[in-house]
Structure 1
Amino acid sequence: MSFTIRHATKADCKNIWRLIKELAVHEGKLQQVMQSYEDFEQDAYSQKPWFESLIAEVPKENKSQKGFTTVGLALYYYTYSTWKGRSVYLEDLYVMSEFRGFGIGKSLLNTLAKVAREKQCVEMKLNVFGQNSHSRAFYAAQGAQDVTVLENWHTQRFNAEMLDKLANKAP
């Protein structure tokens, strides 16, 4: 099946939002999608965007059962490691189920790696749900290392309530 990978534009925002919600349903986490589409669009396409996206498109003759030609997404942003330097964080990699197995996910990942190296990033980071053995195997097959196992690093998070508590203690 033929497809193209390209950088997303503001005109793609509704399709990106649709794919994000599909991913949330796929992961059984739709209730965790709490922001509005309007906030998402603002974060994506303001003067200083919070993230960037790559999308995968198929020709119209290969559109999805629901009529979509945008069938995959890699949403990412840049971070910084004080020990290593520039990094890219892959927040979401998603391909619609009917388009899996055609190399679209690999192409999105490869294209993001190319973008990262062009930006002189030294590493790509991402999180995978522990129970998602298919995704863990996919990333491992591409050369990803599980740093929880390898280096004993654990992801920590402060939710909005805890951020408020911490912020209220600031001088």
Structure 2
Amino acid sequence: MAGYRVRAAEPGDCEEIIRMIKELAEYENLSDQVKNTAEGLRRDGFEEPSPLFRCLVAEEEDEQKRAEGPRLVGCAVSYYIYSTWTGRALFLEDLYVAPQYRGKGIGSKLLTATAELCLSLGCSRLQLSVLDWNQPAISFYQSRGGRNLSDEEGWCLFRFLPDDLQRMISKSAEKGGDSGLP
């Protein structure tokens, strides 16, 4: 993959990272769900005593070509998760390559660098989720050894949004429930 390099993101990359996050959300038909900002990324990834995420970015090596297009052409955003069965793990939240740069091995290089990061951090596994209609992504991960746990183990992914959490808490309070928190 001559011409592109992967490196750890820096605080000055946050504007371009949020641009790529928004492009990914648009591709996934979920643009309305992006609430984060470049400032939020900078705070959470670079200013926290313990950063909440890690990010790798792909960029054109040739400065002249970089000046003609986007400086960053891809990113991989990950963070720690924990398995009570196997311990520390890494969750790959986003792996994105701009459409005009796909098919050049950039996604493979970002995924491989994330795998190296995962092992270097002593993680027991790398986990991610893919929308069920995104066959190119599913095929990409499966071709690299990824296991579809929906098929293999029957796992279902659930999400609680703030309104859902508040309703749950309110219903519990109405029944006289105690969360057990101080």
TM bucket, shorter chain? over 0.9
Normalising by structure 1, we get a TM-score of 0.92
Counterpart residue identity of residue 151, structure 1: E
Q: What is aligned with 1:87?
A: 89
RMSD value, Cα:
1.6
Q: Which has the larger radius of gyration?
A: 2
Give me the whole-angstrom Cα distance separating, in 1, the residues matched to 2:39 and 2:55.
Answer: 17
Q: Percent identity?
A: 35
Q: Find out whether 1:157 has 2:159 as its counterpart.
A: yes
Distance in 1, matches of 2:38 and 2:163, equals 22
Q: Could you tell me how far apart the structure 2 residues matched to 1:81 and 1:64 are? A: 43
Partner AA of 1:138 in structure 2: F
1:1-171 matches, cutoff 5 A: 1-45=2-46, 46-58=48-60, 59-63=62-66, 67-168=69-170, 169=173, 170-171=179-180
* 1:99 Cα deviation from its structure 2 partner: 0.6
Residue by residue over 1:31-79, the C-alpha shift from the partner in whole angstroms, topping out at 9 and shown as x without a partner, is 11123433333222222221110000102333386x2121000000011
Whole-Å Cα distance in 2 between the matches of residues 64 and 24 of structure 1? 25
What is the distance in 2 between the residues matched to 1:79 and 1:167?
24
Q: Distance in 1 between matches of 2:156 and 2:125?
A: 17
Q: Secondary structure at the match of 1:121?
A: coil
Contact 2:14–2:39 (CA under 8 A) maintained in structure 1: no
- Residue 86 and residue 153 in structure 1: after superposition, are their counterparts in 2 closer, same or farther (change >3 A)? same
Amino acid at match of 2:144: Q
Counterparts in 2 of 1:64 and 1:165: CA distance versus 1, 3 Å:
farther
- Which SS does the other structure have where 1:145 is aligned? coil
SS of the aligned residue for 1:34 comes to: coil
The whole-number CA distance in structure 2 between the counterparts of 1:55 and 1:71 is 8
- The structural deviation recorded for 1:92 is 0.1
- Cα distance in 1 for partners of 2:75, 2:158 equals 25
> What 5-or-longer segments of structure 2 have no aligned partner?
174-178
Question: Counterpart of 2:145 in structure 1: which amino acid?
Answer: G
Structure-2 change in CA distance of 1:25 and 1:64 (3 Å): farther
Distance 1:36 1:9, change over 3 A: closer
Name the CA distance, whole Å, in 1 between partners of 2:84 and 2:169. 24
TM-score by length of 2: 0.87
Q: How many residue pairs end up in the alignment?
A: 170
Confirm or deny: 8 A CA contact 1:64 1:98 kept in the other structure.
no
1:97-146: CA deviations, max 9, x gaps?
A: 11111100000000010011011111110000000001000000010000
Compare 145-154 and 22-31 and name the one that shifted more: 22-31
State how far apart, in whole Å, the 2-side matches of 1:118 and 1:36 are: 29
